[in-house]
Amino acid sequence: MTNRPDSAGSTATVAFDPTERTWVTDTANDTSFAAAPPLDGELLVDEAARHAVATDLGNITTRVPCAVLRPRSAQDIAAMVRFCATHGIPVSTRGAAHTTLGQGLSAGLLIENRSLNRIHSLGPDTAEVDAGILWQDLVDTAFAHSPRLTPPAITGYTSLTVGGTLSVGGLGGLVGALRTGLQVDHVRELEVVTGTGTIERCSPERKPDLFEAVLGGLGQCGIITKAVIDLVPAKERARTYVLGYTDNAAFFQDMNTLIERPEIDHVYAELYPQGTEPSHKLYATTFYDPATPPRNYDPTTPPGEYDPTTPPEDTVATAGLTTEPVVDDTGYLDYVHSIDRLVDGMRETVEWDRLRKPWYDVWLSGAVMQDYVAEVHDTLTPRDIGPYGISLIYPQRRDRITRPLPPLPEANGSPWVYVLDINTVSETPEADPAFVDEMLDRNDRLFARARDEYGAVLYPIGSLRFTPADWRAHYGDRWEAFQAAKNRYDPGAVLTPGPGIFQDG
């Protein structure tokens, strides 16, 4: 029997009413309710708990769950998924709720995975962690290890859960990308609760179909509860070269140079609305240990002979670029957590968590990226970004992305693939209702042209109104395998209904 204190301080049994399809307490002593299974964690049905998880970062979609589970173990999740599958109750999992159009919301059971937040083991080259732990906490703990360690790919915003980013793909926003691939490329093993309520361990060797369907699979085939993740040696400092541009061609000329330059470890960029100077900004970073002296780098040295343990001379790292950089040198952790500090500041000053965020996020081949950015930049206005938004560009080396999911655009002869984000943010929480509709229409219009003219593919954290037919087109030749995994591991189709991927079977 699952119990929690009622408002009078006594215990109340949480149960499910199969007629009304809601969870209730037994304070009315109605024995017709089917009791939920025994749990170590909490199953909450009070209004405050349910409404607290009824929206996500976007604040566009609202869906109030019937109950909220705060599990203490994978067994809690498995028990409740079995219960929900029996009654046909949808189940979604919430980490940091960083989607923007209700992808992780549910009118049934909402599982708050943040209550599973242990690091079970660490070092020398892997960590086993709960799905609810934040990347920030894993990064800090690994860096404090002796010797210093780090995940090879780290999201730009590190206050996201491991399970959440692995379900999407996990961009290396501030660490990784040029040589490491996505976060899903650095997972050795998973513990997963399937849609039948079975706890499975999976890996490339054990149940590989489940492993491949869960990583980047948007929660459709299983709920990640633990992950074994690669760790690599961490450098002590980060040296970033910041370059501003008003010319799209010069911007891409330098970006194409920097992403191929062996002494540069990471590159990302920002795009600003029309009339802003600079209109494009590049950030190129090298990680190094100050105890190792700089070397005189010979540009003719073959890439295989480059020694990444020594920091480059600034003149070498930026040689041949069209503009002079500003150099920013910080400690590794200061660099990794820089976006978290920015967001925390906005959370304190501008009600960040309540602002509307109709984001647009797509993959594009490197073969078309320059032309697409030139086209999109001509359309960007201050309203398209908002006072607290930003547009971001992330280059990724294609051959380092090894998992079947998430889907990528066709290469078209380029070894690079890019993510473009237009992270629109409203000025106030009380945004004009027409603003959200306008931006959602803009997203649909931008994506239709990007897909049809440039071969773009959705990166599914943003706000695009996909139909089941759109999802089938999105997965392309991977659709049949993905659907087969859904039918095998979630035959009742109870998991993560928010995206509407398998809505019509």
Phi, psi angles (nearest 5°) of residue 384: -70, -25
Q: Is the pLDDT of residue 278 over 50?
A: yes
Q: Which amino acid is at 145?
A: H
Residue 108 has pLDDT above 50, yes or no: yes
Fold of 116-233: 3.30.465
Q: To the nearest whole number, what is the mean pLDDT of the chain?
A: 91
Q: Helix, strand or coil for residue 477?
A: helix
As given in the structure block, the two tokens for residue 124 are 């020398």
Q: Whole-angstrom Cα distance, residue 100 to residue 355?
A: 11
Per-residue model confidence as pLDDT tens digits over 115-133: 999 999 998 999 999 999 9
Q: Say yes or no to pLDDT of 390 above 60.
A: yes
Band of residue 302 on the pLDDT scale cut at 50, 70, 90: low
pLDDT score of 256 more than 80: yes
Whole-number pLDDT of residue 204 = 98
Distance CA 224, CA 407 (A): 20
Q: Distance between CA 429 and CA 352 in Å, rounded? A: 8
What's the CATH code, domain 237-458?
3.40.462.10
Rounded Cα distance, 429 and 415, in Å: 41
Helix (H, G, I), strand (E, B) or coil at 15: strand
Residues forming a β-bridge with 181? 177
pLDDT confidence of residue 210: 98
Q: What are phi and psi of 418, to 5 degrees?
A: -125, 150
383: helix, strand or coil: helix
Reply yes or no on whether the pLDDT at 174 is more than 90.
yes
Q: What is the DSSP string of 235-287?
A: -SEEEEEEEEES-HHHHHHHHHHHHH-TT--EEEEEE--TT-SSSEEEEEEEE
Exposure class string for 355-394: b at 16+ Cβ within 10 A, else e: bbbbbbbbbbbbbbbbebbebbbeebeeebbbebbbbbbb
| Rounded distance between C-alpha atoms, residue 133 and residue 124, angstroms | 19
Q: What is the pLDDT, as a whole number, of residue 8?
A: 39
Q: Identify the pLDDT of residue 304.
A: 55
Nearest to 106 by CA among 73, 61, 75: 61
Which uninterrupted H or E stretch holds 120? strand 119-122
Q: How far apart are CA 83 and CA 394, in angstroms?
A: 42
Q: What DSSP designation does 311 have?
A: P
Amino acid at site 364: L
Res 401: pLDDT: 96
Contact 319, 273 (CB under 8 A): no
Phi and psi torsions of 306, nearest 5°: -70, 135
Cα–Cα distance, 433 to 102 (Å, whole number):
17
**Predicted pLDDT of residue 316:** 85
Give per-residue burial for 289-324: e unless 16+ CB within 10 Å, then b.
Answer: eeeeeeeebeeeeeeeeeeeebbbeeebbbeebeee
Digit-coded pLDDT (tens) for 415-463: 999 999 999 999 999 878 799 999 999 999 999 999 999 999 999 999 9
pLDDT in tens, 17-26: 766 777 777 6
Rounded distance between C-alpha atoms, residue 222 and residue 13, angstroms: 28
282's tokens: 């590049």
**3-114 and 237-458 share one CATH topology?**
no
Architecture of the domain defined by 3-114: 2-Layer Sandwich (3.30)
Least trusted range by pLDDT, from 260-274, 289-303, 370-384 = 289-303
Q: Is the pLDDT of residue 96 over 90?
A: yes
Q: Residue 105 in contact with residue 498, Cβ under 8 Å?
A: yes
**CA neighbours within 13 Å on the CB side: how many for 236?**
9
In 3D space, the residue among 266, 238, 307, 239 whose CA is nearest the CA of residue 176 turns out to be: 266
Nearest to 154 by CA among 126, 132, 176, 137: 176
Q: pLDDT for 13-52, tens place per residue?
A: 677 776 677 777 765 444 344 788 999 999 999 999 999 9
Query: In whole angstroms, what is the distance from residue 353 CA to residue 344 CA?
Result: 10
Give pLDDT, residue 293. 57
Contacts of 218 (CB under 8 A, 6+ apart): 103, 167, 168, 460, 496, 499, 501
Residues 181, 190: Cα–Cα separation, whole Å: 18
**Any idea where the domains of the chain sit in the sequence?**
3-114, 116-233, 237-458
Tokens of 106: 């549910």
